[in-house]
Structure 1
């Protein structure tokens, strides 16, 4: 049987990923100032609440990953769309800070159910033989989430309160994403019932005796890359301002998004035969490499532009390899559980990184803090090279 990417499923998932990331993550930064004013919080406390919600949701990720395997990623994504809608409504009607915090935790748990980790597991369950290509195509489509939902959220917020914007987003998750996920769940269930010979399982390249160490190294590599990415992106404006590049913040932002999508497009066209481990090493070099370029060239505007392109390309590839590398190393069996464990480590570090970098910048200064951050990112390269040695 010819191995074809399930394009209809990938496109449908691409739509729900754009909505999932747009409504549950990217919209927050635009609505946060009004949330702070409504609850009489400082803006720092509002983002602190988001970090706490991300941290707590990270602790639930391993359990959710087991459920992806046990009852199917499609079913979990269908449930996740309903939970996302309910959580957004709960946020919009929260009468006080405690209720808002609880609802925000529910939003981030729902995000774990409908975003990349779940979507990658669904693609593996649909057609494991071509899952790596399917994941690459999906990340290319979903890369437009911020490009689409920052202006959409801003346009809605110009006419609606933040509560009403969240109500609109709840309706979108319920009426658009949930039916798509239900359809994909049915398709995945039908595939399970079909002959197992139709789409054979994928065998991992790591020997069973080396998988525990290999998994630890992989999680360490991805977590360190996520730490650098999260810390730098959250503090992009103060970092650039502190390095004498405050006027380039908007330009850097416009280059970052297209660079993410561009790296995924280049990989899709020219990197079809490139092993996932090699791609992981490239991504692990680009993310701290971009940070070093910023440090070494500041306050040069061309240097800041190169930083945005290199850093953006590294982040674009990171999204791909978090889906494809576990499949290459460990195979398709238990893939959802692996994604759950990885999501936990990445979410916890991503939640803590902005806070830790803020402390570092306040106490040590920007240059030493950013240097340490880049050095930590460089350790990801070492982790992936050790995985190559294990093979």
Structure 2
């Protein structure tokens, strides 16, 4: 029931809040008389706010459970979507998306994963897989609906309709069905495991910082490549339509990547799996530097897409396995602070790298090398993280 509830609410929230923004980007520019950079800054503000709120959200989830927080988050997201439909200036848009960042922090993957971890000591990876597989269809389901609503009634009316859908579906599910699981309290007794680490204890281990920095590198690289792939390909003679399709297919490859995650992780273990994901991302990015020789984007799409899909599960699974379930929310929130900030900074950061390094191939080589280094660091890091410390 918990997995089914979260699968529905995550799909709806991601589909409307996260994927709705790019659909309505162009009409917002025209209506507000603002540049694309100015309008997309609102989205970056939301992502940054969400990242900053992640530790506080995680602590709340560990101590008080998800029902009140995620219900309030859904109420806030609904009200802000109504407000979004009525903005008349950039300043108002920025305020709405600053607050929307708080709503995202309390309703998207981080709190949902914390709920799953609190419920499942065994079968956790499969439960996480189910939520992300269903929610992974959010863009496929909602972006065509949003585009149709936009064409039929304009962006403001479309957002009003979507706000009603968002509130009608997510608020009652969060209010009536969510509650805290007991896996974090019972795992040690049931399996003879050492107690879970607190955030403070985790922060005194090498593996916590290595994982935190590694996921910063991973999210930065993913955001950078996604944002700059179209201009890179257009410079090399591809049409904008083909470049956009490459991004779409890369996103589609996340689903089979997630399906493969569970059996591969069961064989390799969480730490080796995380390192393998980073190396696969590096190999994917590296394909772009060899595009002239390869003559095809298929290796990039397969490797990058599958690895990106696995990375979402790898973070949740590795943190729960290494540090335990009891304080997962706070620990995951601390890692998310850096990782989600990197996602927000990635597009701008890649632009700065492009200026400094002088070409896209140099940028992609630098990103690939950083990902390989991140994978190696995860493999070599001290894993003494529990009671023996």
- Normalised by the length of structure 1, the TM-score is 0.89
Residues of 2 paired with 1:205 and 1:211: CA distance? 14
**Offset from partner CA, 1:60-89 (integer Å, 9 cap, x none):** 211111111122123321111111101111
Given the superposition, is the C-alpha separation of residues 45 and 237 from structure 1 closer, same or farther in structure 2, using an over 3 Å criterion?
same
Deviates more, 1:134-143 or 1:122-131: 122-131
**Offset from partner CA, 1:91-118 (integer Å, 9 cap, x none):** 1122322111010111222111111110
The equivalent residue for 1:166 is: 159
The count of corresponding residues between Structure 1 and Structure 2 is 380
The equivalent residue for 2:373 is: 379
Given candidates 71, 79, 92, the residue that maps to 1:99 is 92
**Offset from partner CA, 1:158-210 (integer Å, 9 cap, x none):** 11222222222221221101111123324x3xx559x9589958757999688
In structure 2, runs of 5+ residues without a counterpart are none
Residues of 2 paired with 1:282 and 1:345: CA distance? 21
Residues of 2 paired with 1:270 and 1:367: CA distance? 31
**Offset from partner CA, 1:303-350 (integer Å, 9 cap, x none):** x11101100001000010111010111001111101211221112111
Given the superposition, is the C-alpha separation of residues 301 and 339 from structure 1 closer, same or farther in structure 2, using an over 3 Å criterion?
same
Preserved CA contact (<8 Å) 2:207 2:382 = no
**Structure 1 residues 60-79: aligned runs within 5 Å:** 60-79=53-72
Residues of 1 paired with 2:284 and 2:313: CA distance? 18
Preserved CA contact (<8 Å) 1:260 1:315 = yes
The equivalent residue for 2:236 is: 243
Given the superposition, is the C-alpha separation of residues 232 and 130 from structure 1 closer, same or farther in structure 2, using an over 3 Å criterion?
same
**Offset from partner CA, 1:110-147 (integer Å, 9 cap, x none):** 11111111001111222333323211222122211222
Preserved CA contact (<8 Å) 1:137 1:268 = no
RMSD in angstroms over aligned alpha carbons?
Answer: 2.7
Given the superposition, is the C-alpha separation of residues 209 and 284 from structure 1 closer, same or farther in structure 2, using an over 3 Å criterion?
closer
Is 1:281 aligned to residue 275 of structure 2? yes
Given the superposition, is the C-alpha separation of residues 269 and 214 from structure 1 closer, same or farther in structure 2, using an over 3 Å criterion?
closer
Deviates more, 1:78-87 or 1:56-65: 56-65
Deviates more, 1:142-151 or 1:219-228: 142-151
Residues of 2 paired with 1:256 and 1:140: CA distance? 15
- Normalised by the length of structure 2, the TM-score is 0.89
